[in-house]
Amino acid sequence: MKVSWLFWKTTIFLVVISYFEIYSIHCNQQLPKSVLKVLNSPLKPHIVVPVRSTCTCGYRPMGQVKIVGGQLSEDNNWPWVVPIVSVANGMADQFCGSSLINSQYLLTASHCVMNIKPEDLANYRALLGTNSISNPNATVAYLQEIKMHSLFNRTTLDYDIALIKLTKRVPFTPTVRPVCLKQAGAPYVGVAGTVAGWGSLQKGGKGVDKLRETKIRVLNNVDCAKNYSATGVQITGKMLCARFPGKDSCQGDSGGPFFLRNRNTNIFTQIGIVSFGVDCASPQYPGVYTRISSFLKWIIDNTQDAIYCKKSF
């Protein structure tokens, strides 16, 4: 069968066009500073993320690698952990934690911010670059907007995730740096990570001034659901459970990050958000966290006006 010259011309043209499309994607690092990088991630469809190549997410300064059963964190050990404080009474009262994930957004739990009205945002602050709530040298950031997940359930605490937009972009320094969100290795069963916050050291106690941290280990959701079966609490796929004997997050730690160290690096990735539990460090009931891997697309879709560090996803 004879093939027309027009057919061959069309085929050659399509091959050439495809070549230049692929070349342009792989060479986008030569474009201007703010570019849109198409990630070949496990999520489908592909996600478009604003990327900035001059910073590294999740990097912790070298140092020793109360939350219940935990220890004081070294100064600036975790430069992405951020307390949210109320200043309505003239003092900085910490009530929830959060994490810096890019140039202008904090990640926290919806139950932390569900009662904050837009007109009351002026009564709250985020303190960056500090381990101490009372540190006069902390970088103070103002809140502009709260974005709660539309499916958040106040009763079951499913979809317990929210974004806080700051009024200005945050300059990254050795003490102020976003955490990574790339979820390689999910669902992380059996993996140990760190949870950090300013919550109380025991049930019913008061929050602390200095950041504390502790190690906990991820559990299988099926086993976690069995632990909670008698309470009527449903453990869903959007949740992640973790515990370690005598160690846990507690009141005031809500919204804070649960993160782990990437293998053979000094880079850390957040895999959970402190959500809820029964008592604190209870041997029967593990702590429950919002599972970050279930919300990557939602996070990216709602932060398109921010700048992420390279390898954030």
- Positions annotated as catalytic residues are 111, 160, 254
> What order do you get walking across the sheet with 35-39 strand by strand?
35-39, 47-56, 308-310
Round to the nearest angstrom and report the end-to-end CA distance of the chain. 50
Distance CA 105, CA 272 (A): 16
In one letter, which amino acid is 247? K
SS (H, E, C) the chain: CCCCHHHHHHHHHHHHHHHHHHHHHHCHHHCCCCEEEEECCCCCCCEEEEEEEEEECCECCCCCCCCECCEECCCCCCCCEEEEEECCCCCCEEEEEEEECCCCEEEECHHHHCCCCHHHHHHEEEEECCCECCCCCCEEEEEEEEEECCCCCCCCCCCCCEEEEECCCCCCECCECCCECCCCCCCCCCCEEEEEECCCCCCCCCCCCECEEEEEEEECHHHHHHHHHHHCCCCCCCEEEEEECCEECCCCCCCCEEEEECCCCCEEEEEEEEEECCCCCCCCCCEEEEEHHHCHHHHHHCCCCCCEEECCC
Distance CA 125, CA 123 (A): 7
Q: What sign for the dihedral angle of Cα 69, 71, 72, 77? A: negative
